[in-house]
C-alpha cells in the first residue's frame, strides 16, 4: 500500500522509472533498518538512521540522496511534513585542487614530445595563463595580443578573494 502510493506520487511528480526504482531501494533499506513500515518512524529513529549512515561512511551525495527520498516519503506520500525538519543534509568537504610545484611544472614542460618546441610553447602558454584544458582547447589566435604579449582569454568571473586584492 505505501509502496503503491509512493510510486503513484512519483508518477504525479514526473519522476522517471530509474529514479522510482532507486527511491524504492532507499525506502526498503530504511524499512530494513527499522524492521517495520517506514511510515511509522519517529524522529529518534530518523536520527539513529542518519548516525548509522555516518558510521558506515556513506558518502555525502548518497547520504543526501537518501535524505531527499525520505523527505519525499514523509512530506508527499505520508503527509507528515513535520518529520522533514529531523532530516538534515550533509555538506561535502571542499577540497582544494592540487597545485604543482615549480619542479613538477618544469618536468612536465621538458617531457613534452617531439623535437619541435611547439609542444613546450603550448604547455607554457596554458600554465602561464592558468588555463584549464577546456579553456586552452577553445583558444583562438584572436585571443592573443602578440603586440603586447598578452592573452585576452576570459576564464570566468573572478572569485571574491581576487576582487578584494
pLDDT tens track for 85-135: 999 898 887 877 777 787 887 787 777 776 667 777 777 777 777 777 777
Write out the three cell numbers for 11: 508518477
Write out the three cell numbers for 107: 618536468
How far is the CA of 9 from the CAs of 2, 20, 23, 26, in angstroms? 11, 10, 12, 16
Query: Considering the entire predicted model, what is its pTM?
Result: 0.57
* CB-CB contact of 33 with 52 (8 Å): yes
pLDDT tens track for 3-17: 899 989 999 999 999
Amino acid at each position: 500500500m505505501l509502496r503503491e502510493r509512493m510510486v503513484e506520487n512519483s508518477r504525479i511528480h514526473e519522476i522517471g522509472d530509474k529514479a522510482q526504482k532507486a527511491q524504492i531501494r532507499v525506502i526498503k533499506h530504511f524499512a530494513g533498518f527499522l524492521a517495520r513500515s517506514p511510515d511509522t518512524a519517529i524522529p529518534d529513529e530518523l536520527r539513529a538512521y542518519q548516525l548509522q549512515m555516518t558510521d558506515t561512511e556513506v558518502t555525502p551525495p548518497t547520504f543526501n540522496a537518501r535524505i531527499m527520498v525520505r523527505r519525499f516519503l514523509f512530506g508527499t506520500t505520508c503527509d507528515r511534513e513535520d518529520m522533514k525538519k529531523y532530516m538534515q543534509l550533509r555538506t561535502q568537504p571542499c577540497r582544494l585542487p592540487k597545485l604543482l610545484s615549480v619542479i613538477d611544472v618544469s618536468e612536465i614542460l621538458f617531457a613534452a614530445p617531439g623535437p619541435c618546441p611547439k609542444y613546450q610553447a603550448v604547455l607554457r602558454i596554458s600554465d602561464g595563463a592558468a588555463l584549464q584544458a577546456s579553456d586552452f582547447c577553445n583558444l583562438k589566435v584572436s585571443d592573443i595580443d602578440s603586440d603586447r604579449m598578452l592573452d585576452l582569454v576570459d576564464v570566468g568571473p573572478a572569485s571574491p578573494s581576487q576582487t578584494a586584492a
